[in-house]
Amino acid sequence: MQVNSKFNALVLGISLVVGLGLLGWLLGKATIDFKSFDRIVTVKGLAEKEVKADVVIWPIRFSIADNNLETLYKTLDSNTGKIVEFLESSGIAKSDISFSSPSITDKLAQQYGNQNRAQFRYTATQNVTVYSKDIDLVRTLQSRLSSLGQQGIVITGGNYEARTEYLFTGLNDIKPGMIEEATRNAREVAEKFAKDSSSVLGKIKSASQGQFSIISRDNNTPYIKKVRVVSTITYYLSD
């Protein structure tokens, strides 16, 4: 009876040792797997595309001066009519033309005691704005503005109010393809990193898409736009 008790105790002891060893091995493996699972690499993928603007906003700004207010307004109306005729006869639709309220300055009222009398009491500026999708036509007409000068219209430019603006409104059409390209570029970088570090690239842990930016390619060709997006992606790594 005593022999059986000793034998059972021995078996129990061996079982405990083996069980604790197996448990330790499993816990050690789980720790190693967890640390391996926590290895990551974060990369950025860039996609760029050049596109042509599809909308142009072209303000034609002119100025006049006169000592008679009534004559000033008549000249404003006359010059505006000449500009509209120039645009419509050149192919710009009437619906694409708009007008701003004229800005009138009374220089006599602004002298504040200054005895130097201005040559003309009143000055006025007026904007005739073209909003068109025909970029090529507008650019052609911009080169022909001298014909308005030959009719006595003083075209003013170089300031913010008279700056031509080119827009690209087709972002939604090219967005999916650019996101795909940025993601593909990011993965290529991640795969290169994994190869250099003797690792295997795993699944995506997280991903974020940066904001799209649309800027002019350069100052000389503002009607050509550069669309850009950067995606940031984090991948798991394993041995």
143: burial class by Cβ within 10 Å (0-12, 13-18, 19+)?
exposed
CATH number of the CATH domain containing 61? 3.30.70
Write out the two tokens for 78: 């006359």
What span, in angstroms and rounded, lies between the C-alpha atoms of 204 and 216? 34
What pLDDT shows up at residue 27? 38
For the chain of 239 residues, list the mean pLDDT of each consecutive stretch of 10. 54 53 42 54 94 96 94 95 96 95 86 65 94 96 92 82 91 95 94 91 90 94 96 91
What pLDDT shows up at residue 25? 45
What pLDDT shows up at residue 64? 94
Pair (160, 176) in one structural domain: no
What pLDDT shows up at residue 14? 59
> Which of 167, 194, 221 represents a domain boundary (last residue)?
167
64: β partners: 124
- Phi-psi region at 51: left, alpha or beta (left = phi > 0; alpha = psi -120 to 50): beta
What span, in angstroms and rounded, lies between the C-alpha atoms of 134 and 128? 17
Pair (60, 22) in one structural domain: no
Pair (72, 154) in one structural domain: yes
Pair (47, 68) in one structural domain: no
What pLDDT shows up at residue 116? 62
What pLDDT shows up at residue 112? 60
Pair (46, 34) in one structural domain: no
Pair (144, 187) in one structural domain: no
What pLDDT shows up at residue 39? 86
What pLDDT shows up at residue 148? 92
Gyration radius of the chain over CA positions? 37
What pLDDT shows up at residue 108? 80
**Angle at CA of residue 33, ends 32 and 35, nearest 5°:** 65
What pLDDT shows up at residue 209? 85
Instruction: Name residue, tokens 């974060």.
Output: 42
Domain range enclosing 219: 39-53+169-239
